Amino acid sequence: MQLKKTQRPRNIRRQLAAATCTLLAGTTHAGSLIASGDNWKIDSALLIYAEKDRVSLAEGVLNIRKEIDDDEFINARIVTDVLTGSSPNGAVPSNTAQTFTNPSGNSSYTEAANTTPLNHTFKDLRNALSVEWDTPFSRSLRGTLGGNISREYDYLSTGISVSLAQDINQRNTTLTLGISLNKDTWDPVGGVPVGFTAMPAFPAKKAIDGAKTDKTVKDILFGVTQIINRQTLMQLNYSRGQSDGYLTDPYKILSVLENDGSGNLRGTNPYVYENRPDQRTHQSLYWKGVHQFHNENVLNVSYRYFWDDWGIQSHTVDLRYRFDFDGGHYLQPHLRYYQQGAADFYRQTLTDGEENTLSYASADYRLGEFVTQTIGLKYGFEFKNGAEINFRAEMITQKGKDRSADAVGILQNQQLFPDNEAYLLQGGLSLDSDMVIKYIMGFFKK
């Protein structure tokens, strides 16, 4: 019954090794290599933003994107930022020193003559989390559901958003519809001031309308993205948003001048709290084009026209041009030009009695007429495994319209719009390799 084996044994070692490799690795050797990059993506960035003599901000962002099923993603973003420094309080400079009460009402501070009065109490830590679930409904329709929460010591913002993207025209055109709803709560230091009431001289207390107040913001967006050719695509969005509730800045005040054209602050109650409408509807048209030239450089340019029923109109042009070099290096200059007109109720100062006749007024420089210009350069390096490291440096200047000719009396010699200059430094790191994720997991396990 024995089987005679006479033929020479075959060499099977290599085939056996390949089979064993498949058995042990849990997948073919190709599998472990490919699955990695498509599954996890971690992006992180650290931003340092510093204004000359004003606020400084350090902001860290961590973004984790994971493919949980085919084409279905969970995206989570964690942001922490620390803000320190001072911000214009709305009052105009004067030829004498000025004294203001802190928002808490527990102390006061004095600003020297001929300087823009700043509120020095800003020191804030913000933590924000947003999570998005992005899933396909069919081969041409996908949806995104998002939620976000952001917490500062005096501000809480929560929101949800939903958007749908439908591909048509052989996937050359994508129609987007998005809506979002945000509910924000102010818990300002010292309570919510009553608009147009006087900022009392310490130790008197300001008139307040409760400790907390809130607002809701609803947005809707329609977009069309069109592939123009193999190298070009464009996007056009129309969006409309409505804010309701407390839209005033509880820390901003206005200087009230004497009625005599002297430009002097009035003798009693020289400062009043600002007061804005409790509703705002804004709209914007946004266009963006991305084009790749034959030398593989990419131009990314956008234009936004924004207008609202407060009378603000703005134009924003943003331009980024990416030069690719051999070996994964790239350089990307960035230019941005922003020009805005003032809100109808923007006033640099009030004159005595005006607070009783006007419905709204604010001296917040952000509602005034100004131009912001940004110039920056980014350097990036893409590793062969898909990771990327990048740095950028930018300079931002903000310049208001010179209104000294309209100013009265002694104010003609003052810089009424608080021009600003800021520097931005950012470092970023993106990873999407399995090894690194394992490393990080191991680190957290420790």
Task: Please tell me the distance from the alpha carbon of residue 274 to that of residue 254, in angstroms, as a whole number.
Answer: 6
Token couple for 235: 């996007």
Rounded distance between C-alpha atoms, residue 303 and residue 291, angstroms: 15
Beta strands 141-152 and 56-69, pairing class: unpaired
317 touching other proteins, by CB under 8 A: no
**Binders in 381-420 for other proteins, by CB under 8 A:** 390, 392, 396, 398, 420
What is the distance between the alpha carbons of residues 423 and 374, in angstroms, rounded to a whole number? 10
Report the C-alpha gap between 180 and 136 in whole angstroms.
20
Task: Tell me which of 94, 101, 157, 349 binds other proteins, using CB under 8 A.
Answer: 157
The CB-of-213 to other proteins minimum distance in angstroms stands at 11
- Applying CB under 8 A, the span of 56-64, 106-114, 198-206, 255-263 interacting with other proteins comes to 56-64
What CA–CA distance (Å, rounded) separates 366 from 408? Answer: 22
Decide whether 233 or 375 has the Cβ nearer to other proteins: 233
What is the closest distance, in whole angstroms, from the C-beta atom of residue 289 to other proteins in the complex?
A: 10
Strand partners, 281: 242
CB of 24 to other proteins, least distance (A): 5
CB count within 10 Å of CB 254 equals 28
State which of positions 235-254 bind other proteins (CB under 8 A). 235-239, 241, 251
135 in contact with other proteins (CB under 8 A): no
Measured from the CB atom, is 144 or 264 closer to other proteins? 144
Question: 113 vs 145, which CB is nearer to other proteins?
Answer: 145
- The one segment of 104-112, 174-182, 202-210, 352-360 that binds other proteins by CB under 8 A: 174-182
Contact 199, 191 (CB under 8 A): no
Kindly state whether residue 314 participates in binding other proteins, applying the rule CB under 8 A: yes
Do strands 108-111 and 98-101 pair parallel, antiparallel, or not at all (unpaired)? antiparallel
If one asks whether residue 68 binds other proteins (CB under 8 A), the answer comes out as no
How many Å from the N-terminal Cα to the C-terminal Cα in the chain?
Answer: 62
- Which residues, 259 to 288, sit near other proteins by CB under 8 A? 282-286, 288
- The residues, any chain, with a CB within 8 Å of residue 386's CB and separated by 6 or more, are 37, 432, 433
- Residues 45 and 205: their CA atoms lie apart, in Å, by 43
Cα–Cα distance measured from residue 190 to residue 208, given in angstroms and rounded to the nearest whole number: 8
Nearer to other proteins, 113 or 285 (CB): 285
Q: Among the candidate windows 96-104, 213-221, 255-263, 408-416, which touches other proteins by CB under 8 A?
A: 213-221
Does 149 sit near other proteins (CB under 8 A)?
yes
| Contact present, 144 and 134 (Cβ < 8 Å) | yes
CA distances from 85 to 51, 68, 99, 262, 356 (A): 9, 42, 18, 33, 33
395-433 in b/e burial notation, b at 16+ Cβ within 10 A? Answer: ebebebeeeeeebeebbeebebbbebebebebebebbbb
Is 2 near other proteins (CB under 8 A)? yes
Task: Tell which one of 366, 373, 421, 425 touches other proteins (CB under 8 A).
Answer: 366
Interface pick for other proteins out of 253, 363, 367, 407 (rule CB under 8 A): 367
Mark 83-102 with x for binding to other proteins (rule: CB under 8 A) and - for no binding.
Answer: x---x---------------
Out of 244, 322, 331, 351, which residue is the one contacting other proteins (CB under 8 A)? 322
Residue from 242, 316, 397, 433 in contact with other proteins (CB under 8 A): 316
Contact between 210 and other proteins (CB under 8 A)?
no
**At 131, which helix (H) or strand (E)?**
strand 118-136
Binders of other proteins among residues 15 to 44 (CB under 8 A) are 15-17, 19-24, 26-31, 33-35, 38, 43-44
